[in-house]
Amino acid sequence: MNDDATLILNFEEFISLLKQKQEKAAIQYKLDLNKRIDKNFKWYLQYLLFKSIKRKSQKLENKIKIKDLKRILIIRNDGIGDYVVSTPIFSLIKSYNPNVLIDVVTSNRNDFYINQDSNINKTYPVSEKDFKKDWKNAVKEINKNKYDLIFPLNASKTTKVAFMCSKINSGQIAVFNHNERKEIYSQFFDKLIDNVSFFTHWSEKMIQFPLQTIDFGSVINPLEFKSYIHFTETGIQNALDILKENNLRFIKNDNSPIYNKLNILENQGESEYVTYCISAFSPGRSLSLEKNIELIKIILEVLPDKKILVSASPSDYNKLNTIINIVDNEKVIPLRTDFFAAIALFAGSKYLISPDTANSHIAASANVPTLVFYHEISFMYTWFNNSPKCVLIANKESKDMFYLSGDIFKAGLLKLIN
């Protein structure tokens, strides 16, 4: 692997690179609008497929006034990170009409978390394994209510979403526009959301759903509505116990409202800590046992006055135990706790280091300085951390994590510290 192809960027450098891509993408988008669509066999097949789905588009010509909005259904049956970047939608709607009921179709991966969000009225969990059965049961419950708007937020599964929504008896449905499929999608969906921002953070893309369907009665600055995370009382208490047991000092990284719920965690111990995450959603994003050990030793070398909380999902606990035993350093502490305690501790970290984008979105919501490494560069552009206190690492040629040498990691860590 060519180290010269590796990018180690702070937020300012990344945004500069992103703007160049935005300009090129904007030009290409305008060209695509005027380009004759190649209606090949696949296009006609998809057109007929959508035409066969029994639902006529109602065309949302005018925005719905926020005061008239009663109930919204969100479809977010994927991951926790996907949900976190969608939370500006809920903040915006609730800030203008607290009485709007927001229900969410969830997955077995994120339902436990979404269920605890005070902005959410109800969830309908649908597992991937038993999708047909779970969705059939969910639809029965969904159709007991009348929805004004439905926002399916998974941009990559529009055909599946159409079949799902065909069973719902109420609500006008909005999805992301796709220039080549506009004629196809218009047969079924009521509003196609223009993706007005190119290579921008998903939270800014998600907030286009309410902005393009709801009349708020005033001009909205979407950047005012940031992603947020939420906690449980039990999780906070468990985090407090871990801080006390290991003499760890919780750091308030900024004046974010999320810290109002975590005041009890402040001023506990003496040692600042770094959170190092070993788990990732897919195997291709994970580091090997040997590489994790190497990187933890580099953190100990570069930050000798810090302790390290090593976080892992329960499926990686055996790997975590092996790492702790081999490193054999009292400053390296295994983090085995519930998810809400873990994210509370993430929020108090001096730094968070992770190969997983969900953890980086959680840390960004608390403005924690974060080092994120991506298995391929397209993921960096798509799922980048939007906190000004971050450093991003990716390799232009890589499709896995093998490019991440100790020297590259150390350079990224030093850049984060400085």
Tokens of 149: 């708007």
Same domain, 328 and 355: yes
pTM of the model: 0.91
Nearest Cα to Cα of residue 357 among 282, 303, 296: 282
At CA 318, angle to CA 243 and CA 406, rounded to 5? 80
Same domain, 285 and 346: yes
* Structural contact between residues 265 and 236, judged by C-beta atoms closer than 8 angstroms: yes
* Structural contact between residues 336 and 317, judged by C-beta atoms closer than 8 angstroms: yes
Q: Is residue 14 part of a domain?
A: no
Q: Is residue 173 part of a domain?
A: yes
Alpha carbons 376 and 148: distance in angstroms, whole number: 39
* Structural contact between residues 185 and 169, judged by C-beta atoms closer than 8 angstroms: no
pLDDT in tens, the chain (418 residues): 456 789 999 999 998 988 887 777 666 666 665 665 677 888 888 888 888 887 766 788 899 999 999 999 999 999 999 999 999 999 999 999 999 999 999 999 999 999 999 999 999 999 988 999 999 999 999 999 999 999 999 877 788 888 888 889 999 999 888 777 888 888 888 999 987 565 678 888 899 999 999 999 999 998 899 999 999 999 999 999 999 999 999 999 878 888 989 999 998 899 999 999 999 877 778 899 999 999 999 999 999 999 999 999 999 999 999 999 999 999 999 999 999 999 999 999 999 999 988 999 999 999 999 999 998 888 888 888 888 899 999 999 888 888 999 999 999 999 999 8
Same domain, 152 and 201: yes
Q: Which pLDDT does position 74 carry in this prediction?
A: 97
Q: Which pLDDT does position 152 carry in this prediction?
A: 93
Same domain, 205 and 336: no
Same domain, 113 and 190: yes
Same domain, 157 and 255: no
Q: Which pLDDT does position 163 carry in this prediction?
A: 86
List the domain range (segments joined by +) for residue 75.
46-224
Task: Supply the CATH number for residue 71's domain.
Answer: 3.40.50.2000
Q: Is residue 118 part of a domain?
A: yes
Q: How would you classify the pairing of strands 71-75 and 149-152? A: parallel
Same domain, 215 and 247: no
Number of structural domains (the chain) is 2
Q: Which pLDDT does position 30 carry in this prediction?
A: 63
- 309 SS3 class: strand
Q: Which pLDDT does position 315 carry in this prediction?
A: 92
Alpha carbons 35 and 89: distance in angstroms, whole number: 33
Q: How many CA atoms lie within 13 A of 325 on its CB side?
A: 7
Boundary of a domain, candidates 224, 253, 284: 224
